[in-house]
Amino acid sequence: MHTTLQPTEGETTTLHQDYLHLHQRPELSMQEHNTASFIESRLTEMGIEHFRCGGTGVVGILRNGQGPVVAFRADSDGLPIQEDTKVDYASTARGTLDDGTDVPVMHGCGHDTHVAGALAAARILVRGTDSWQGTVIFIFQPGEETSAGAAAMVADGLWEKVPHPQVVLGQHVFPFATGTISVTPESAMAMADSLEVTLYGKQAHGSQPQDSIDPIVLGANIITRLQTITSRELNPLDSAVVTCGSFHAGLKENIIPDSAVFTLNIRTLTEEVRAKVLAAVTRIINAEAVASGAPQPKITELYTFPRLYNDPQHTEQLVGALGEEFGEELIRLAPPAMGSEDFGALADAIGVPNVFWMFGGADPQDPSPAVNHSPFFLPEYRGALDTAVRAAVAGLMHYVGR
């Protein structure tokens, strides 16, 4: 067992200040300009070497002699949600979507705890260089919510600019009790593929269906048919979701429209299942268009969330390390979740393992707080940050601790 480092009172005060600062200044995905500047100024204060990467991403490199290299990622973006938590430090920030819409912005997924926690962990490691040796790379990643950020950092040469780590670590706040950790070996979160499908029909007056190719009836048949992918084409022991989140066609009740547009969100846990589902989706959409005598639909990929595969051996080690920090009984092995994360893209880009765990952000006395992405989402920040920092430090020290 390694000796680990605990935050001092002063470090905790700074941690709380950082969190409250960030919480009130959330920024939309890939627009985290002020957040990046804030991170940079903090790293500069700590004397940690850093550089911009992927636009609004920041990478800090903390070198402490020969030894293992390990990376730790914290994502930094907010969400276009109006915070409705009633706390006096609630966000009133606004942002501008790509289409120009002005929207409220909120740290509705708790990434403020991730950034503040990572900065605190860095501060502790800087203070405690006697206790460890090696190199720790802090990756402050933008744009997790849109799956753009990890890819942008990799594309911007992240791994050419830092030594390759033996493992990439990351963590996420969730509304279970502070002081507890949840981790899933192997496939931990779902891959997500989002598609936009345009169906082409033929417009006609509502009284003359014979002159139309009805894209709404075609769409209805496709939606209905897509249900058979999970019900008939997959092993019932595999997990997959095919959700049609939107369907839009037509302006007037008495005009059969000439097209319809719908979006799909597909979630799978393995590449094999993913490939099977994507092939089935395409096969069904195209064949149903043929059944309608319609032109071939257009299928456009909106975005893809990569796999998040926790290396089993590293996961087992970290369960041990975190168990020492928090108590073995407070580390839960959880089944996979169907939600998605782009964390996995970082390590997968260079073929190294990664481990991603969930830390509790809810008051243990108030066990059912609002969930992530809700206007009411509000971590009990003191406990949440304490959990975040101790988990980060314990995880890192497992690799670099003396």
Stretch that binds a second copy, among 9-17, 114-122, 192-200, 390-398 (CB under 8 A): 192-200
The residues facing 162 across adjacent strands are none
Contact call for residue 255 and a second copy (CB under 8 A): yes
Query: In the bound complex, what is the minimum distance in angstroms from residue 147's beta carbon to a second copy?
Result: 11
Query: In the bound complex, what is the minimum distance in angstroms from residue 213's beta carbon to a second copy?
Result: 8
Contact call for residue 106 and a second copy (CB under 8 A): no
Stretch that binds a second copy, among 1-9, 71-79, 88-96, 234-242 (CB under 8 A): 234-242
- Please check if 244 is assigned to a binding site: no
CB 125 within 8 A of CB 394: no
Query: In the bound complex, what is the minimum distance in angstroms from residue 339's beta carbon to a second copy?
Result: 5
* Closest C-alpha to 177, from 380, 336, 29, 390: 380
Residue from 216, 299, 349, 370 that binds a second copy (CB under 8 A)?
216
In the range 346-385, which residues lie near a second copy by CB under 8 A? Answer: 373
- Please check if 325 is assigned to a binding site: no
d(CA 388, CA 139): 16
H or E element, residue 290: helix 271-292
Type of residue at 103: V
Contact call for residue 243 and a second copy (CB under 8 A): yes
Contact call for residue 206 and a second copy (CB under 8 A): yes
d(CA 194, CA 263): 7
In the range 303-342, which residues lie near a second copy by CB under 8 A? Answer: 335-340
Buried (b) or exposed (e) across 23-49, using 16+ Cβ within 10 A?
bbbbbbbbbbeebbebbbebbeebebe
H-state helical runs in 2-97: 9-23, 33-46
**Maximum C-alpha span of the chain:** 82
Stretch that binds a second copy, among 68-76, 88-96, 160-168, 209-217 (CB under 8 A): 209-217
Asked whether the CA dihedral 249, 255, 256, 259 is positive or negative, the reply is negative
In the range 289-308, which residues lie near a second copy by CB under 8 A? Answer: 290-293, 302
* Closest C-alpha to 153, from 354, 346, 329: 346
Contact call for residue 288 and a second copy (CB under 8 A): yes
Contact call for residue 171 and a second copy (CB under 8 A): no
Q: Which is nearer to a second copy, 155 or 255 (CB)?
A: 255
Contact call for residue 101 and a second copy (CB under 8 A): no
- Please check if 109 is assigned to a binding site: yes
Contact call for residue 8 and a second copy (CB under 8 A): no
Residue from 151, 284, 322, 393 that binds a second copy (CB under 8 A)?
284
Contact call for residue 66 and a second copy (CB under 8 A): no
Stretch that binds a second copy, among 97-105, 231-239, 355-363, 388-396 (CB under 8 A): 231-239
- Please check if 164 is assigned to a binding site: no
The DSSP symbol for 295 reads P
Contact call for residue 194 and a second copy (CB under 8 A): yes
CB atoms under 10 Å from CB of 326, counted, come to 19
* Closest C-alpha to 186, from 342, 359, 336: 336
Angstrom CA distances, 290 to 79, 219, 233, 242, stand at 40, 12, 21, 22
Which residues make up each annotated binding site for Mn(2+)? 109, 111, 145, 172, 373
